[in-house]
Structure 1
Amino acid sequence: MGRGDLSDPEWARLERHLPKNTGRGRRWTCHGKVINGVPFRQRTGVPWRDLPRRCGKGQTGHDRHRRWSADGMGDRILRAVQADADVEGRIDWSMAGVDSTSRRAHQHAAGARHRPAQISGRRGQPAHHRPDEALGRSRGGLTTKIHLASDGGCRPLAVLVIPGQWGGAPQMIPILDRMRVPQSTGGHPRTRSDHVCGDKAYSSRRNRRYLRRRQIRHTIPERRDQQANRQRRGSRGGRPTGFDRGRYARRNEAERTVNVLKGFRAVATRYDKRAYVFQGTVALAAIRLWLR
C-alpha cells in the first residue's frame, strides 16, 4: 500500500458501489489497482502516463475515469456513499454552507475541439457536458469555478463546475437542487438541510424567495446597495432581512471544505480539457472525503 492509497476500511465502503462490468465484452480488470491510480493522480496532479507501476497503466486509468465521468458514475457513487454516512449518523443536517472557489486552468486544459463530446460505445452526450467546457477568461487567464454545498462536518453534499467569470448568486439554486441523499428506508431522498448559510455574494430576492418556498431557514447578509435600495423605496421595499451573527460564524465550515478539496492538486489546478471529466475529478475528490 502506497502513500495516499485507499485503506482497507475505505475500500470496503467503496467496493460495493462500483459497477460489476461494462455490460458488453469482458469484465473490468481489477478495480483496486486502477482506482488507486485515480487518487494518486488527484493528489499529485501528474500526467496519467506518469502513474507508478503499482497503479497499472496510465491509459487504463484515464479511459476508465473518463468513461465513468461521462456516465455520471461519480455522482451516483457520491450519493451512495452519502447514504451510507446518513445511516451511520455522520451527516450534520443542521447547517448547509454554500461557497465557491475559482481555480486556474492549466494551459493543457484549453484547446478542446468545438464539437459535441462523445464517448466511444456510448450514445448521446456525456453527463454534465457543457459547450463552453466550464472555462472562463479573466485577467489572470483561463479559470473554472467550483461551487459546493457542504454539511456541518465539512464534507461536500453537492459540487458543480462552471466558467470562472460567472457570479455566485445565480448558482445557489442549482447547487442546492443537486443535494439528493437517498434514504435507506426508501421513499424520497433527502434534499434539504435545516439551515443554509452563505456570504453576501448569495444575497438576492430570488434566492430568499426560493429558500422561503422550501421552508429552509437561512443566514445570508444583505449587501449595502440592496439595503440602500430597500430603504429608498420606503414601505414598498419590504422588511429588513433577519441576520443571526452566531449562525453566520459557521460559514467557515464551507470555506474549510473548499480548502480540503484544494488539497488535491488535480482539483486546485484544472488539467482536464472537458468539463464533464473535471466534474468527475471533483466528485471523486468529494467521495474520498466521505470515505475517511
Structure 2
Amino acid sequence: MGRGDLTDVEWERLRPFLPVSNGRCGRWRDHRQVINGILHRVRTGVQWRDLPERFGPWKTVYERHRLWSGDGTWERLLQQVQAAADAVGEIDWEISVDSIVRAHQHAAGAPHQPAADTFLKGGRRGGTPGRDAVAEPRRPPGGGGAGGEGLGRSRGGFTSKLHLSADGFCRPLSLIVTPGQRADCTQFIAVLERIRVPRGGPGRPRVRPDSLAADKAYSNGRIREYLRRRGIRHTIPEKSDSQAARLRKGSRGGRPIGFDEDRYKKRNTVERTINRLKQSRAVATRYDKRGYIYLGTATAAALVIWLRT
C-alpha cells in the first residue's frame, strides 16, 4: 500500500456503496486501484499523465473520475458515508459556512459545451443515474452555473470559489463551485439546500442543521428570513452599516440582531475544514478545466476526510 492509499478499514467502509458495473462492457476495472489513483492525484495535484504505473493506465483513472464527477457518484458516496456516521450519532449538526478561492492558469481553455444538463446513454435524460448507469456529464448543478465552468477573472488572474458547509467535527457536508468573483451570500441558500444526509431506514434525508454560524459576508435580510422560515437557529454578526441604519430609524428600525458570542467562536470549525481540504493540492489550487470535474475533485477530498476522521 502506498502513501495516501485507502487502508483495508477505509476500503471496507466504502466498498458496499460502489457501483458494480459500468453499463457498457461488464464490470469495472479494479475499483480500489483506480480510486487510489484518483486520490493520489487529488492529494498531490500531478497531471493525470504523470500518475505512477501502479495505478494502471492513467486514462482509465481519469475517465473514472470524470464519469463519477458527472453522474453524481462522488456525491452519493459522500452522502452514504455521512449517513453511516449520522446513524451512530457521529455528526455534530452545529454547522458553519464559508468559501475558498484559487485557480491555476491551466484551468482555463475548456472547449465550449452548449448543454448544461446530464445525458444518460440508453435514451434517458435528466434525473439521477441508477447504480449501474453511465453518464456523459454536462456540468451538473453546483459545478459551474452562470459563470461557465466556475471560473472568473480578477486582477490576479483566474479565480474559482468553493463554497462549503462543515459540521462541528470539521468535515464538509456540502460543496458548490462558482466563479471567484461571486459573493458568498448569493450561494448561501444553495449550499444549505445541498445538505442531504440519508436516513438509515425509511424517511427523507436530513437536510436541516441544529444551528448555524457564519461571518458578516452572510449578513443580509434574505438569508436571515430564510433561516427563520426553516426554523434554524443562527449566529451571524450584523454589519456596521446595517446597524447604523437600524439605529437611525429609531423604534422603526426594529430590535437588535441576536448574537451568541460563544456559539460564534465555534465558527472556526469551517476554517479548519478548509485547511483540511487544502491539504489536497488539487483542491487548494484548481487545475481542472471543467467545473463539474473540479467539484468531483473537492468531493473526493471531502470523502477522504470523512473516511479518516
TM-score range, shorter chain: over 0.9
Matched, 1:254 2:253: no
Q: What one-letter code is carried by the residue in structure 2 that aligns with 1:216?
A: I
Matched, 1:286 2:302: yes
Once the two structures are overlaid, the 10-residue window that deviates more, 77-86 or 226-235, is 226-235
RMSD of aligned alpha carbons: 1.5
Shift of 1:97: 0.5
Matched-pair contact (CA < 8 Å) for 1:119–1:126: no
Matched, 1:82 2:95: no
What is the rounded CA distance, in whole Å, between the counterparts of 1:92 and 1:6 in structure 2? 25
Q: TM-score, normalised by structure 1?
A: 0.96
Distance 1:70 1:123, change over 3 A: closer
What is the rounded CA distance, in whole Å, between the counterparts of 1:45 and 1:127 in structure 2? 23
Q: Equivalent residues in 2 for 1:149-228 (5 A)?
A: 149-228=165-244
Q: Secondary structure at the match of 1:100?
A: strand
Q: TM-score, normalised by structure 2?
A: 0.90
Q: Equivalent residues in 2 for 1:31-46 (5 A)?
A: 31-46=31-46
Q: Secondary structure at the match of 2:25?
A: coil
What is the rounded CA distance, in whole Å, between the counterparts of 1:126 and 1:202 in structure 2? 26
Once the two structures are overlaid, the 10-residue window that deviates more, 225-234 or 145-154, is 225-234
Shift of 1:229: 1.4
What is the rounded CA distance, in whole Å, between the counterparts of 1:154 and 1:209 in structure 2? 26
Q: What one-letter code is carried by the residue in structure 2 that aligns with 1:209?
A: E
Aligned residue number for residue 92 of structure 1: 92
Listed one character per residue, the Cα deviations across residues 166-198 of structure 1 (whole Å, up to 9, x for unaligned) are 111121111011111001121011111111000
Residues matched between the structures, number = 290
Q: Equivalent residues in 2 for 1:44-123 (5 A)?
A: 44-93=44-93, 95-103=94-102, 105-116=103-114, 121=121, 122=135
Distance 1:267 1:226, change over 3 A: same
Aligned residue number for residue 23 of structure 2: 23
Shift of 1:38: 0.7
What is the rounded CA distance, in whole Å, between the counterparts of 1:119 and 1:70 in structure 2? 10
Matched-pair contact (CA < 8 Å) for 1:109–1:272: yes
Shift of 1:116: 2.6
Shift of 1:55: 1.0
What is the rounded CA distance, in whole Å, between the counterparts of 1:245 and 1:26 in structure 2? 56
Q: Which runs of 5+ in 2 are unaligned?
A: 122-134
Shift of 1:89: 1.9
What is the rounded CA distance, in whole Å, between the counterparts of 1:119 and 1:277 in structure 2? 16
Q: What one-letter code is carried by the residue in structure 1 that aligns with 2:249?
A: R
What is the rounded CA distance, in whole Å, between the counterparts of 1:124 and 1:96 in structure 2? 31
- Equivalent of 2:156 in 140, 144, 154: 140
Shift of 1:120: 9.2
Matched-pair contact (CA < 8 Å) for 2:113–2:138: no
Listed one character per residue, the Cα deviations across residues 115-137 of structure 1 (whole Å, up to 9, x for unaligned) are 23678954673423535100010
Matched-pair contact (CA < 8 Å) for 1:98–1:254: yes
Matched, 1:231 2:247: yes
Q: Which runs of 5+ in 1 are unaligned?
A: none
What is the rounded CA distance, in whole Å, between the counterparts of 1:126 and 1:27 in structure 2? 26
Matched-pair contact (CA < 8 Å) for 2:188–2:218: yes
Matched-pair contact (CA < 8 Å) for 1:70–1:277: yes
Q: What one-letter code is carried by the residue in structure 2 that aligns with 1:108?
A: H
Matched-pair contact (CA < 8 Å) for 1:91–1:152: yes
Percent identical among aligned pairs is 57
